[in-house]
Amino acid sequence: TCPTLLFTTIGMVFAGELLEQISGWRAFHRVDELLILVPVLINLKGNIEMNLSARLSTSANIGALDTSKARRGLVVGNLWLLQVQALAVSAVAAGVSFALGAVGKSKSKVQKMMSRSGFLECVLSPIPMQSYPCSDSPRFTIVLSSALSAASLSAVILGSFMCALVLLCRHWSLDPDNITSPLAACLGDLLTLSLLAIIATVLLPIVSSPLPALLSTAFGLLGLIAFLRTRKNADVWPLLNDGWSALFGAMLISACAGMVLDWFVRDYDGFGMMAIVIGGVPGSVGSVFVSRLSTALHAAAEAAAQSTEGTEDGSSSSSNRERPVVVGCTLLAVSLPVALLYLLFVWAVGWMSLPAVFVVFFVIGFIATTALSLLVAYWLTHLFWRHQLDPDTYCLPIQSSIVDLLGPAILVLCYELADACGAEVVAGHRHSQ
């Protein structure tokens, strides 16, 4: 788990750097809504990819992927389902971004309200939002076609990778619950962002031609085909109607996190960089915990069903028992070195000064955020399970968005306490006021 968390943190930093680079590309200056689209699309797309990884991990751990016929049905069905979800959420994200862009052509607070994490807010802040001559219809077409294309291609590439990773973990006797969910979120951000930038840049010179509209139509037809194929797959078709409320509810909660970042990101030195680790790592730890708890609940239900039928394999039921306190403490213990290594890296490369007082408060705040993330994960998983809702589908989006809100809020408290103790952590313009 520790290497996975470290890799995820590095991926978040790279995603922030990538966004900073592509935000200066001509397509993002010409079409304001593309920039607004980024955090909305990443939020929704990242959640469906985490759901996929959690479902497949649960299936692997309860033995549902051990036979070739069942494995083929689940993998192919989940890939078609992911395609349906990716195209649906990308269309919604395009509509939301265009509507928000229409509210005001000035920068306002649209992007910040929708951001998932600190690096997005930190990067979006200095970007000028200038208007370029381009009518509404071509702008919407390029936003929609770019979103659909990036989401669909990302679903194919990352979905196939996650399926292969889960199968390899099963083959090598590794627990995919410890690996897949954080990697899905991290790699999904990087891949979707890269594809969106490339596709938008390619489509911009031909924005007034019929090609973007034809591309959108083609992906709409692909979505219909994927929907019909999913309906025919008995393993996954019940999931077509599940989880949508959690996805869009998580987007609203993340909007509150974005407002916290909006209020404080310019008031504190390095707030965006610290928000990466205090929000991202506890969120990843919580997603691992959710995935493990969900697997344990599904395994217990499977064992109970086998016991009722008189076919229980006692060894399999005992091996799937989860001890939440031990697992939670272990996850907390392995996450702390990741945070400390990140602090050491930030200090070593000179990105910001780290007064000792602030480091102490930050470590305490990080531990508190991680502990709260684990508690929220435990409570939400069992809450959804009691209401006969699959935690693999409903829990991860809500849990990650709540941590997105808790992390920056606790980080603000760390900065204020350090400032009260005399540490130089408040931005210069506040000292001068």
pLDDT along the chain (433 residues), means of 10: 79 76 81 81 86 90 87 93 94 85 54 42 41 62 94 94 92 87 83 92 89 94 96 89 88 72 70 82 92 91 75 44 83 92 87 88 96 96 94 91 89 90 69 46
The pLDDT value recorded for residue 370 is: 96
Which residues, including other chains, have CB under 8 Å from residue 92's CB and lie 6 or more apart? 44, 248
If 0-12 CB within 10 Å is exposed, 13-18 middle and 19+ buried, where does residue 131 land? exposed
Q: For tokens 């829990």, what's the residue? A: 395
pTM: 0.81
Q: What is the pLDDT of residue 128?
A: 41
The rounded distance, in Å, linking the Cα atoms of 9 and 76 is 30
Residue 63 phi/psi, 5-degree rounding, is: 85, 10
- Cα torsion 282, 285, 291, 293 to 10°: value is -90
The answer to whether the Cα torsion of 306, 312, 313, 318 is positive or negative is positive
The answer to whether the CB of 254 falls within 8 A of the CB of 344 is no
What's the pLDDT score for residue 433? Answer: 45
- DSSP summary character for residue 390: -
CA distance 385 to 392: 10
Q: What is the distance between the alpha carbons of residues 53 and 46, in angstroms, rounded to a whole number? A: 11
Question: What is the per-residue pLDDT for 266?
Answer: 67
* pLDDT at site 317: 41
| pLDDT confidence of residue 111 | 43
Work out whether the CA dihedral 349, 353, 358, 360 comes out positive or negative.
positive
At 124 the pLDDT is 42
Residue 43 is predicted with a pLDDT of 80
Q: What is the pLDDT of residue 261?
A: 63
Contacts of 76 (CB under 8 A, 6+ apart): 233
Element of type H or E holding 352: none
Six token digits for residue 289: 């915990």
